[in-house]
Amino acid sequence: MFDENHKNENDVSILLLLFWSFFKISLFVIGGGLAMIPVIRNVFVHKYKLLTEDDIVDMIAVTQTIPGLIAVNSSIFVGNKLAGIKGAVVSTIAVLIPSLFILGIIAAFFPLQMLTNSHLLAAFSGIRACVAGIFLGMFIQFAQKTLKSLLDGGIVLFLIGLLLAGAHVVIIILISIILGMAILFRDQLKEGTYG
Number of residues that bind another protein (CB under 8 A): 107
Site for another protein in 82-101 (CB under 8 A): 85, 88, 92, 95-96, 98-100
- Find the binder of another protein among 42, 48, 83, 150 (CB under 8 A): 42
Among 134, 150, 21, 152, smallest CA distance to 87 is for: 21
Cα dihedral 167/165/132/128 (nearest 10): -80
Task: Using CB under 8 A, pick the residue from 7, 20, 30, 48 that binds another protein.
Answer: 30
Smallest gap from residue 168 Cβ to another protein (A)? 7
Q: Can residue 72 be called a binding residue for another protein (CB under 8 A)?
A: yes
- Tell me whether residue 11 or residue 138 sits nearer to another protein (CB atom): 138
Selected from 5, 13, 49, 107, the binder of another protein by CB under 8 A is 107
- Quick one: which of 60, 82, 83, 90 contacts another protein (CB under 8 A)? 60
Residues contacting residue 180 through CB under 8 Å, at least 6 positions apart: none
Nearer to another protein, 8 or 64 (CB): 64
Using CA atoms, how far apart are residues 95 and 77, in angstroms rounded to an integer?
13
> Where are the extended beta strands (E) located within 64-156?
none
Binder among 18, 62, 90, 191 for another protein (CB under 8 A)? 62
Q: For residues 111-150, which are near another protein according to CB under 8 A?
A: 112, 115-116, 118-140, 142-143, 146-147
User: Do 128 and 145 contact (CB within 8 A), yes or no?
Assistant: no
Distance CA 2, CA 17 (A): 20
Cα separation, 188 vs 195, in Å, equals 9
The number of C-alpha atoms within 13 Å of 84 and in the hemisphere containing its C-beta is: 13
Among 40, 90, 188, 190, which residue sits at the site for another protein (rule: CB under 8 A)? 188
